[in-house]
Chain A
Amino acid sequence: QVQLVQSGTEVKKPGASVRVSCKASGYTFTAYGVGWVRQAPGQGPEWMGWISVYTGNTNYAQKFQGRVTMTTDTSTSTTYMELRSLRSDDTAVYFCARDRVGYSSGPYNFDSWGQGTLVTVSS
């Protein structure tokens, strides 16, 4: 079955960077894009961006442009999300999610999700 397993909890100081990993299994990794969504405490989901595993193309939400980088490693079926210049309002649970549509040119919606990674930014 499709499974996305994320790396563990992170605690960072303001100004630092964090990299969250998302290891996929149970499907053809290169066929589906992977999106990243975060959720601050008590808030709704917020889309951060998406990467086509097939082409390496990325599509970042304007809010995160210049501060986020998404990459993939096809040899390990892992996707990474790096967020830089962390602030306290970046404290959130970060999810990776597989796009429902294979070989797509951009994100649609997400049919399988990782378990989430809590990132806490605090001095």
Chain B
Amino acid sequence: AIQLTQSPSSLSASVGDRVTITCRASQGISSALAWYQQKPGKPPRLLIYDASILESGVPSRFSGSGSGTDFTLTISSLQPEDFATYYCQQFNSYVLTFGGGTKLEIK
């Protein structure tokens, strides 16, 4: 199965900062990647799909890029509600895997 490696595993940042999270796939997956946000006690929330398409209702400060094996999620200006854990997920050949997560904390 394709492995997804996220970095960093945790990150401290301040409101207003620009933040980038990376996700590397163990083999090429074209653009078959999604990003989710999860807060404690809640299910994941889809933010980005097909590597760069913003899900409906998601603020435009979130953006995704990449293809093949290297992907990034960028938050252009952190808001208080953005402090959460972020996961990437791939769906190559209908076998899904999630990354290990990046916990974004308030500095």
Which A residues contact B (CB, under 8 angstroms)? 35, 37, 44-47, 50, 59, 61-62, 95, 97, 100, 105-111, 113-116
Known pairs A44-B98, A45-B98, A61-B95. 13 more at Cβ < 8 A? A45-B89, A46-B98, A47-B89, A50-B96, A59-B95, A95-B43, A107-B94, A108-B34, A109-B46, A110-B44, A113-B43, A113-B45, A114-B43
| Distance A105 CA – B91 CA, assembled complex (angstroms) | 12
Kindly report which residue of chain A lies nearest to residue B56, judged by CB atoms: A111
- B94 contacts A105, CB within 8 Å? yes
Inter-chain CB contacts under 8 Å: number: 58
Interface residues on B, range: 20 to 34
- B49 contacts A100, CB within 8 Å? yes
Check: B7 CB closer than 8 A to any chain A CB: no
- A108 contacts B1, CB within 8 Å? no
Kindly report which residue of chain A lies nearest to residue B85, judged by CB atoms: A44
Check: B67 CB closer than 8 A to any chain A CB: no
- A113 contacts B97, CB within 8 Å? no
Cβ-closest 8 pairs across A and B: A106-B94, A113-B43, A109-B34, A47-B96, A45-B98, A44-B101, A111-B46, A108-B91
From A44, A95, A107, A111, B96 is in contact (CB under 8 Å) with A107
Q: Across the interface, which residues of A come within 8 angstroms of B99, CB to CB?
A: 44
Check: B87 CB closer than 8 A to any chain A CB: yes
Kindly report which residue of chain B lies nearest to residue A112, judged by CB atoms: B46
Check: B100 CB closer than 8 A to any chain A CB: yes
Q: Across the interface, which residues of B come within 8 angstroms of A97, CB to CB?
A: 43
| Distance A59 CA – B94 CA, assembled complex (angstroms) | 8
Q: Across the interface, which residues of B come within 8 angstroms of A111, CB to CB?
A: 46, 55
The interface bits of chain B over 37-55 (1 if a CB of A lies within 8 angstroms of the residue's CB, else 0) are: 0100001111001000001
Kindly report which residue of chain A lies nearest to residue B49, judged by CB atoms: A109
Known A46-B98, A47-B96, A47-B98; contact A113-B44, beta-carbon cutoff 8 A: yes
